[in-house]
Amino acid sequence: MALGKGLKIFLIVAGAVVLLVALLIGGFAWWLSSNKDELKAMGDQVKAEATEFGQGRNGEACLAEGLRRLGACDGFMCKVKTRVFLAACLEAAEPSPSLCKGAPSSDRIVDSVKWRRHQCAQVHLDTDDCQSLFGEIQDFCHGE
């Protein structure tokens, strides 16, 4: 049974895409494994810095610092470190009930998207990274 030319092309392209995805996943896993000690040390350093910053401050101060850091970010790792910073800072900071006011649980997806967009618009930083940062606020407020 002969395959049509269009089907052959489709199968070749689909196979190439599957191979490329497998190589990307494998490459990322290798990179992660090769850099795990450095990444852990970086995370521990950021957490220690955040804990020190958060002591004697409230959650709003942690959020303000997180937003400041996010605004200065220039790459993926910086954005990840900013989220780690905010989460650790909130844990160390004094309670701040107004920080959680109106924050929906992150499992309420539509409400979460609206709330995050609104919060980011309020701080004039309407990006996906800003919305991720406010996701940390939701997680903290709802113990997730």
pLDDT tens readout for residues 4-62 = 888 888 888 989 998 888 888 888 778 777 777 887 878 899 999 999 999 999 999 99
| 30 domain-assigned | no
Per-residue confidence (pLDDT) for residue 4, from 0 to 100: 80
Return the half-sphere exposure (C-beta side, CA atoms, 13 A cut-off) of residue 132: 12
Residue numbers of the domain that contains 85? 37-141
Per-residue confidence (pLDDT) for residue 26, from 0 to 100: 85
Q: Kindly list the distances between the CA atom of residue 42 and the CA atoms of 2, 5, 26, 59, in Å, as whole numbers in the listed order.
A: 57, 52, 23, 23
Q: For 143, which DSSP code?
A: T
Residue with tokens 């991720």: 132
| 120 contact partners, CB below 8 Å, separation of at least 6 | 126, 127, 130, 131, 134
Per-residue confidence (pLDDT) for residue 103, from 0 to 100: 94
Q: Are 43 and 84 in contact (CB under 8 A)?
A: yes
Residue 87: which of 37, 32, 134, 36 has the closest Cα? 134
Q: Is the pLDDT of residue 108 over 60?
A: yes
Q: Is the pLDDT of residue 104 over 90?
A: yes
| 6 domain-assigned | no
| 29 domain-assigned | no
Strands (E), 2-102: none
| 16 domain-assigned | no
- Residue 1 pLDDT class (50, 70, 90 cuts): low
Count of structural domains within the chain = 1
| 122 domain-assigned | yes
- Residue 100: Cβ-neighbour burial (10 angstroms; 0-12, 13-18, 19+): middle
Per-residue confidence (pLDDT) for residue 55, from 0 to 100: 95
| 25 domain-assigned | no
Pick the residue with more confidence: 3 or 56?
A: 56
Residue with tokens 């004094």: 94
Locate 72 and state its tokens. Answer: 């200065």
Q: What is the pLDDT of residues 115-142, one digit of tens each?
A: 999 999 999 887 889 999 999 999 999 9
Q: Is the pLDDT of residue 92 over 60?
A: yes
| 99 domain-assigned | yes
Name the helix (H) or strand (E) containing 123.
none
Amino acid at position 51, single letter: T
